[in-house]
Amino acid sequence: MTRARLNARLNARLNTGRNADPIALEVVRNALSSIADEMALVIMRTAYSSIVRDSMDYSTGLCDRHGEAVAHGLTMALHLGSFPDGMKALIAGYGDDTNPGDIFVFNDPYTAGGMHLPDVYIVKPLFYGGELEGYAATLVHQIDMGGIAPGSTAVYATEIFQEGLRIPVLKMYEAGRPNETFFRLMHANTRVPDKLAGDMRAQVAACNTAERAYGGLLERYGSETFRTILADLHDYAEAVTRREIAALPDGQWSFIDYLDGLGDDPEPIPLKVTVTIDGGRMIVDWAGTSPEVPGAINCPSPFVKSAVQLIVKCIADGEIPNFEGFARAIDIRLPEGTIVNPRPPAACAARAIVGWRAIDVLLGAFAQIVPDRIPAAGEGGVTFPAISGMHRGRQFVLSETLAGSWGAMPDRDGTFGIPNPGGNLTNQPAEMIEALHPLEIEGYGMVENSGGPGRFRGAPAYRRQYRVRAPGGVQMVMRSDRRRILPYGLDGGCPGTPSWNIVNPGPGQRTEPVMPMEAVRLADGEVFCHIGAGGAGQGDPLERDPALVAEDIAEERITADYAAAVYGVVLGAAGAVDAQATDAARAELRKARGKGDDPAPAYLQMFQDSLGLPDFRLEGERRMVYAEKEGD
């Protein structure tokens, strides 16, 4: 193919209406993505704390000279939509006072586009030929920013002033010179100053790496051509997004889901979304969501915007480039004073649970629009325990991000052991935890007879169990969910199984709420066990291929009595499916349904009994509201 024909084909696909070389567009787009990924690798290899280095709770990106995102690294997806708000705050405060060698730092949700105080932005302006041409942006979950609880994520905080050090947009470096006042202030306001300083240096190193690579692109293309390329790519991202939206049916759909609530006597907290599609335009309206609550799960708007943008990209047939132009096609409406757009001084340290649940709510809405692309609900987002005490004469903080139980897809079982789609977070290696902290990991793996049954089943629940080996004991703050309000199933699939927080499992065990409103104290030798929610199923369990049920028994995901009671699958003496007995068992189960018997408590009670937990009753009816299309 000649270059002229290739240019014509790429121009037709890009449809930007500008004059940039289409091959240059592709080269620059991929180069920017590679730079953002290289930034992420720098942080992973140089960070000090395990929440960053091992859990990978951070993000990297590049912005153009206007502060609009042009690349995202392959890290925490739910961070990425936050860059636009942060950059707006930076430019509003320092647009006329930005110089080579400057590096900015900020985290405040109410003055600087932040999300919660542990998520600290470090951003470096990128210059070429004396002109500002872009920004290298990093966002890292710092292990401790002070405040009422170690890890700075106490659910029981009632205002942001209790949560740690608020940083408005300010210069961390000015013309290459460090702001010593800032560094001294940070050292005095964190429980682990060595970890925090190391992680911030990792962010600075990532920005410096991006500066060199970004400068190479400008050297190759020149400022004028490079700016045109970026403008074309923003327009291309918008055009692709509008085509994707236009391919969806016009109409309006709503979905509501619930958080379990706070403390010992929780009240369900609703999140509601309404998606309206009209040609190439989409409105995502969160009206009907709960007002702010007197706890730290209020979620500043950037995190929910990120959830919307993530799901739109996930349901698209084609790839939508990571250029901020794509957001022009999506109108996100977040009512002020709600848990998706709180007002100061609402506490927000544990806000992530709302962002994770926003993903489930959005998927519930899109399950009505493109059901063949949507999974049933998974574990509901990461569980976040932060454990702290004294070790070898110094205070330690262990923060974990636990996840790994997906809901079933329309054509396959839910994936186990893979992070929630909202982020590429990883569970920390047990050996690393034991080497650095006075804790033993006594159990880590899959929970038998868990997850929601279906033609395709949800992923099993995971279990993580810690034993304290600290003479003075430890305290733990905890954020989890999905105990009473289970992950929803689709197309006749059963809800997932509930999460549990258990102290000293076995005779005399006690359970803790999903979101305790005080620190949990654990003495030396005591055990804490977290069981995540199991993913929900899709389709009728009695239509599941008996061979898949037999495989689950062989792999010890379920027991034979569970298979018979839930799936109506009976094995013969050699472990093979007894087809005749299976047909008879399934006929009996269908007959029981006809009498109005509810099959759900059977599988839930078997799960509960295996853990020695109380009788369980399903709560939180799924509510899917189908609005009529206008004119129908």
Give the mean model confidence (pLDDT) for residues 311-325: 94
Contact 210, 35 (CB under 8 A): yes
Express each pLDDT in 210-242 by its tens digit: 999 999 999 999 999 999 999 999 999 999 999
Q: What is the pLDDT of residue 632?
A: 32
Q: What is the pLDDT of residue 372?
A: 96
User: pLDDT at residue 254 above 80?
Assistant: yes
In the 3-class helix/strand/coil scheme, how is 2-17 assigned residue by residue? CHHHHHHHHHHHHCCC
Q: What is the pLDDT of residue 426?
A: 85
Q: Who wins on pLDDT, 347 or 380? A: 347
Where in the chain are the domains? Answer: 3-240, 375-539
Q: In what order do the strands lie in the sheet with 330-333?
A: 330-333, 281-285, 269-278, 251-259, 623-627
Q: Please state, in angstroms and rounded to a whole number, the distance separating the CA atoms of residues 470 and 586.
A: 52
Average pLDDT over all residues of the chain: 91
Report strand pairing: 500-503 vs 527-531.
antiparallel
Q: What is the pLDDT of residue 3?
A: 39
Q: Please state, in angstroms and rounded to a whole number, the distance separating the CA atoms of residues 548 and 536.
A: 17
Q: Please state, in angstroms and rounded to a whole number, the distance separating the CA atoms of residues 132 and 97.
A: 11
| pTM of the predicted structure, to 2 decimals | 0.93
Q: What is the pLDDT of residue 600?
A: 54
Please, which pLDDT band fits residue 436 given cuts at 50, 70 and 90? very high
Q: What is the pLDDT of residue 74?
A: 86
Residue 176: CB atoms within 10 A of its CB come to 10
Give the mean model confidence (pLDDT) for residues 133-150: 96
Q: Please state, in angstroms and rounded to a whole number, the distance separating the CA atoms of residues 439 and 445.
A: 17
User: Which segment of 105-119, 281-295, 452-466, 601-615 scores lowest on mean pLDDT?
Assistant: 601-615
Q: What is the pLDDT of residue 11?
A: 47
Give the mean model confidence (pLDDT) for residues 64-90: 91
Contact 447, 491 (CB under 8 A): no
Express each pLDDT in 87-126 by its tens digit: 999 999 998 899 999 999 999 999 999 999 999 999 999 9
Q: Please state, in angstroms and rounded to a whole number, the distance separating the CA atoms of residues 626 and 372.
A: 17
Give the mean model confidence (pLDDT) for residues 287-308: 97
Express each pLDDT in 549-600 by its tens digit: 999 999 999 999 999 999 999 999 888 999 999 999 999 999 888 766 555 5
Report strand pairing: 439-446 vs 462-468.
antiparallel
Q: Look-up: residue for tokens 């939508």?
A: 320
Please, which pLDDT band fits residue 622 given cuts at 50, 70 and 90? very low
Q: What is the pLDDT of residue 79?
A: 82
Please, which pLDDT band fits residue 615 given cuts at 50, 70 and 90? low
Give the mean model confidence (pLDDT) for residues 532-558: 96
Express each pLDDT in 416-429 by its tens digit: 998 888 887 888 99
What DSSP letter does each residue of 473-501 carry, written as one string?
A: -EEEEEE---SSBPPPPBTTPPP-PPPEE
Q: Look-up: residue for tokens 């809901």?
A: 407
Q: Who wins on pLDDT, 616 or 100? A: 100
User: pLDDT at residue 320 above 80?
Assistant: yes
Q: Please state, in angstroms and rounded to a whole number, the distance separating the CA atoms of residues 396 and 436.
A: 9
Buried b (16+ CB within 10 A) or exposed e, 88-116: ebbbebbeeebeeebbbbbbbbbebbbbb
Q: Please state, in angstroms and rounded to a whole number, the distance separating the CA atoms of residues 410 and 17.
A: 39
Contact 369, 314 (CB under 8 A): no
Q: Who wins on pLDDT, 265 or 632? A: 265
Helical segments of 247-316, H only: 301-315
Give the mean model confidence (pLDDT) for residues 537-546: 96
User: pLDDT at residue 4 above 50?
Assistant: no
> Please, which residues have CB within 8 angstroms of residue 266's CB and are 6 or more apart in sequence?
260, 484, 513, 514, 515
Q: What is the pLDDT of residue 616?
A: 52
Buried b (16+ CB within 10 A) or exposed e, 316-334: beeebbbbbbbbebbebeb
User: pLDDT at residue 621 above 80?
Assistant: no
Express each pLDDT in 189-198 by its tens digit: 999 999 999 9
Q: Who wins on pLDDT, 273 or 427? A: 273
Express each pLDDT in 371-423 by its tens digit: 999 999 999 989 999 999 999 999 999 999 999 999 999 999 999 998 888 88
Express each pLDDT in 15-50 by its tens digit: 544 567 889 999 999 999 999 999 999 999 999 999
